[in-house]
Structure formats: C-alpha cells, structure tokens
Amino acid sequence: MGKIYSIVSGKGGVGKTTSAINLGFALNQLGEDVLVVDANLSTPNIGLHLGSPIVPVTLNHVLNGRASVIDAIYEHISGLRILPSSLSTKELKDIKHERLAEVGKQLKNFSDYVIIDSSAGLGKETESSINAADEVILITQAEMPAVTDALKAAKLAEQLNKKVKGFIVTRYRWKKTEMPIENIKDILELPLLGIVPEDKNMQKALYFKNPIVHTHPRSKASRAYKGIARRLSGRDYIKEEKQGFFSRIFR
C-alpha cells in the first residue's frame, strides 16, 4: 500500500508544481514507483511543465465518472508517471471534488508514492487535495506573505485532521533581505524538510519540459530535491552521499 503526499502552499508561484514534479522524479530514481497527480483543476500546470498539455483522458474525466483512473495515467519520457488535469474550462463543469480521496485510495494500490499537486489558495480544490492525502508537505519561500499563507494551509490541514510532514523553502538565495530559516521554523513550528536554492538551471529544465533532477542532476536544486526525496523514503541522505563519494575515490 502506497503513501499519498499532498503538496500545498497557500500562496501561488512559490514552486509547488516544480517541487511535486522533482520530488516525484527523485523518488522514482530511488527505485520507488511514483505517480504525480495534478489536482490543480482550475489552473493545471503538470502537463505544461512536462510538455503534455493536452491528453485524451484526464483527472477531470475520472472525477466526473466518465473514465477509469487507469486510462488517465501517462508516462513521461523521463520515466515519471503522471495523472494530468484538463486545460479546458469546460471540463470544470460538475466536477466532483470529493471523489479525489476515492481516486487516491485506488492509486495507492499500485504506487509506492502518490504526489498530489494542489491548487493555490485554500479553497475547495486545496481542501479536496488535503483530504485525499496521508500527509501534507508545505511549500514556501523566505518572505512573509508566503510563510503566512503556508501557516494558514497548515491550520487547514489540522482542521481536516491531516498530519503536516513538514515544509520546504524554495528559491532560497541566502540574502539578508530574505527571512532567516530559523524565523520561518519558529512561525510554522514544523520540521524543515529541505531548502531548494535559487538555480538558473530551473528555467532551462522548464524549456526542455523535464524535471531539473533529470536534465541537470548535479545542479544545486537537483541535489536539494534528491536529499528531500531520500528523507521522505527514510534513507540517510548525508551518509549515503559521503559513502558514494569515498567509494568513488577508492575505486
């Protein structure tokens, strides 16, 4: 039986979709069977990020009972499996958001990890994403509006009786103008899962319609996402990285 993580931010534009895709791919590289679900039905981005904006069967069809969940799963060229949503606003009509939890239960039967990319804000779509999850991962940036919205998202998860695994800080630059990480930890009162630095290769990966972990595996952001993936899977990232380094020297 797999595990479902819902990626939530509260605020838009903080790297939620990028994190969902790259965490999914990093876990896949560890040998895990991973599926990334685009539950941002109003403004879906998974397909756009991965070069598959239009597909015949989507999550919208599944939620409306017009298709089987198996028919809506696709494999990206990178090897990552995705369940995209429709770009058509017509497909938003009569969406049954509450069915996402039922779909999630089905997906857990044949995936080690299901990563749900939720919508921005704290509306019905985000609530359904949280309800479908076993645990929630918050995405924020080192600025007060993003952290405040992340705190609101954490409170919503608490109201829905869902555990928050922790938070990820994205696009961090280690500048004096940014909120210190310790301050963010004090506000959220949650475990820090990782810090993803600002990385110029992120734009290149988006251009190539691929996860940065796939296109630039040695980049700063890739190493950060790989580290977070190892922690989620219960592996000792630092220890394994050091062992790999020394074993290469000795060979």
Domain with 154 in it: 3-250
Enter the pTM of the model.
Answer: 0.91
Q: pLDDT tens, 51-99?
A: 887 899 999 999 998 899 999 999 999 889 999 998 887 777 778 888 9
If you write DSSP's letter for every residue of the chain in order, what string do you get?
--EEEEEE-SSTTSSHHHHHHHHHHHHHHTT--EEEEE---SS--HHHHTT----SS-HHHHHTTSS-GGGG-EE-TTS-EEE---S-GGGGTT--GGGHHHHHHHHTTS-SEEEEE--SSSSHHHHHHHHH-SEEEEEE-SSHHHHHHHHHHHHHHHHTT-EEEEEEEEEE---TTSPPHHHHHHHH-S-EEEEEE--THHHHHHHTTS-HHHH-TTSHHHHHHHHHHHHHTT--HHHHHHHHHHHHHH-
Domain harbouring 180, CATH code: 3.40.50.300
Model confidence band, residue 236 (pLDDT cutoffs 50, 70, 90):
low
Maximum mean pLDDT: which of 95-109, 170-184, 228-242:
170-184
Task: Report whether pLDDT(43) > 50.
Answer: yes
Q: pLDDT tens, 199-209?
A: 999 999 999 99
Q: How many structural domains does the chain have?
A: 1
